[in-house]
Amino acid sequence: MVHETCDCQQYRSHCNARSHTTHCLFLDGSTGPRKTTPSSYMIIPRHTSACFCQTSTLSRLLILQSCSQIQECRSIELPLAGEIQIAIRSTGICGSDVSYFKKFANGDLCACQPLSLGHESSGVVVAIGPQVTGFTIGDRVALEVGVPCGQCGICRKGRYNLCKKMRFRSSAKSFPHFQGTLQERINHPAVWCHKLPSHISFDAAALLEPLSVAIHALNRAKPEPGATALVMGAGTVGLLTAAMAQESGCSAVTICDVDQGRVDYALEHGFATHGYVVPRPLHPSSSSSSVVSGISTPGADGAMTPASSILSTLDSRLEGARTLAHDILAVSSSSCSPSVEDVSVHDDEHSPNIDTNNVQDGEEDDEGVDIAFECTGKEVCMHTALYATKPGGKVIMVGMGTPIQTLPMSVPHLREVDILGIFRYANTYATGIRLLSASKRLKQALKGPSGKTLVKRGLPSLDNMVTHRFKGLHRSREAFELASRTVDDEGRLVLKVVIEA
């Protein structure tokens, strides 16, 4: 609860009291007289940002320890100077969270102490620390969970996502680990909390985090008006990247995935103009970087395998990627208007007989997309993105996956294809909030008399991307298990899973 008073001396007298009856604003939103103890209320003087009489409160959180789920109840201290305390309302489950949940690691990052997951979150301000201005109790906020040092040269240049001292919630990259947002309450620096308008839901606000990745990718790509784009991967980040490509002026955006349902969803909801379902099985996603100098290399059973055999396998994978790129481009150029029929499913038996030498040798200089966004982190998808990009184009590495990959470097080298890396995001939340607000206003303004949208404009609904919701931290295990699947037990598409308070 919050008690308004005139000076700090008065609140100190309350702190020393065993109990007190006063007219207050409680943290649950209720008001009125209530008998309280020092541990159940806080006091905000009128002339300062905040003063506190309680020292801590209990907050449940989800803690992982050695791949097991433990729900704990811990004491959360009052926010320090510059911090606010947020009651978390919605947290989206990211692929990295699922990886930590299942393996206690994400790629090369291994957790070495108990780790709370979650970094796509929104909530309500329930306490305000000293030296914080611009926030009031009850403000709705989205959390930007990466906290840089703010002092280094990189930070001063505005590229704080690359700060070496960055602490990012639910990541094992920094030690001690910066605990994630899957908890009832959390203290977070106020400067990294973004106030939300009332018409943006908590679920949509949580998805501002993956939307920020997409915004950052487009900021790096800098597409020209009317450019063409390819997005490899139709997960949350891939879908939002495709939507942002259209928002940034791309006239044709093709999205690819191995899952038919996700490609269908992308087309039906306006995330992309064209779609392609990649045939299964793909070539193995493991890197072929085991090729070393010499005539042989150890195999899985310890026996020496001729290097020529490994190189032959690599050549086969590259040939498959060239063919796949040509098939995707054929779909991309098949129609100028968005349509669900743009989805193409090919397999080895029905795939057209295509001469891939044109793509390899660059004889058709204009064939390819201007920008390819690789959102899976898979080596074969990176190969395909390189072959599908026209000379002078760009490949944007968005997804993080296989850390060591073998790439056909002559493709970007001889065709001057720029390869740009993306790591999280910087300076994107304000843009994301403006985009969501503008999309909401446009959709309301363009509704016809029957309630049907007359014109598709702005970003697709982020709320509709949430396919499954779980109420309470006690259902976290169910949520994580489902988030690792593409369909639920009823055969419905699984796209974004959120845990709500």
Q: Does 190 lie in the same domain as 140? A: yes
What per-residue confidence (pLDDT) applies to 334? 72
Q: Which of 388, 421, 454 is a domain's end point?
A: 421
What per-residue confidence (pLDDT) applies to 448? 55
Give which of 44, 47, 46, 37 is closest to 14, Cα–Cα.
Answer: 37
Query: Does any domain span residue 276?
Result: yes
pLDDT along the chain (501 residues), means of 10: 35 33 32 36 33 60 76 84 98 93 84 91 98 97 97 97 96 90 96 97 98 98 98 97 97 97 97 95 48 42 56 85 95 61 41 44 67 96 98 96 89 97 97 91 59 64 97 92 95 97 83
State the DSSP code for 454. S
Q: Does 65 lie in the same domain as 49? A: no
Sign of the alpha-carbon dihedral angle for 198, 201, 204, 206: positive
Query: Does any domain span residue 434?
Result: no
H-run or E-run covering 8: helix 8-16
Q: Does 92 lie in the same domain as 10? A: no
The three state secondary structure string of 109-162 is: EECCCCECCCCEEEEEEEEECCCCCCCCCCCEEEECCEECCCCCHHHHCCCHHH
What per-residue confidence (pLDDT) applies to 93? 97
Q: Residues of 46-74 as b/e, b for ≥16 C-beta within 10 angstroms?
A: eeebbbbbbeebebbbbbbeeeeeeeeee
Q: List the CATH number of the domain containing 398.
A: 3.40.50.720
What per-residue confidence (pLDDT) applies to 449? 55
Residue 109: partners with Cβ closer than 8 Å, 6 or more residues away = 171, 172, 173
Q: Does 253 lie in the same domain as 130? A: no
What are the C-alpha distances in Å from 327 to residues 5, 102, 194, 255?
70, 35, 43, 13
C-beta atoms surrounding 28 within 10 Å: 9
Q: Does 65 lie in the same domain as 46? A: no
Query: Does any domain span residue 241?
Result: yes
What per-residue confidence (pLDDT) applies to 30? 40
Cα of first residue to Cα of last residue in the chain, in angstroms, is: 19
- The Cα 433–Cα 441 span in angstroms is 12
The DSSP annotation for 342-399 comes to G--B--TTTS----THHHHHT-STT-SEEEEEE-S--HHHHHHHHHHEEEEEEEEE--
434 by DSSP, 3-state: which?
helix
What are the C-alpha distances in Å from 148 to residues 40, 153, 193?
33, 12, 14
Q: Does 369 lie in the same domain as 265? A: yes
Contacts by 340-349 with C-beta closer than 8 Å and gap 24+?
340/264, 340/267, 340/268, 340/275, 342/267, 342/273, 342/274, 342/275, 343/260, 343/263, 343/264, 343/267, 343/275, 343/276, 343/277, 344/275, 344/276, 344/277, 345/260, 345/277, 345/279, 346/279, 347/279, 348/279
Q: Does 272 lie in the same domain as 166? A: no
Q: Does 199 lie in the same domain as 92? A: yes
Q: Does 178 lie in the same domain as 83? A: yes
Range of 190's domain?
A: 58-207+462-501
What are the C-alpha distances in Å from 9 to residues 12, 45, 47, 131, 352?
5, 10, 13, 18, 82
What per-residue confidence (pLDDT) applies to 153? 98
Query: Does any domain span residue 98?
Result: yes
Give the angle 202-167-139 at the CA atoms, nearest 5°. 30
Q: Which of 29, 54, 79 is a domain's end point?
A: 54
- The Cα 62–Cα 373 span in angstroms is 33
Q: Does 237 lie in the same domain as 197? A: no
Backbone angles phi, psi at 297, to 5 degrees: -150, 150
What per-residue confidence (pLDDT) applies to 312? 74
What per-residue confidence (pLDDT) applies to 458? 84
Q: List the CATH number of the domain containing 484.
A: 3.90.180.10
Q: Does 63 lie in the same domain as 46? A: no
Query: Does any domain span residue 452?
Result: no
Query: Does any domain span residue 428?
Result: no
- The Cα 419–Cα 482 span in angstroms is 34
When divided into structural domains, the chain yields a total of 3
- The Cα 238–Cα 373 span in angstroms is 8
- The Cα 383–Cα 406 span in angstroms is 9
Query: Does any domain span residue 351?
Result: yes
Do 294 and 307 contact (CB within 8 A), yes or no? Answer: yes
The DSSP annotation for 197-214 comes to -TTS-HHHHHTHHHHHHH
Query: Does any domain span residue 371?
Result: yes
Q: Does 49 lie in the same domain as 81? A: no
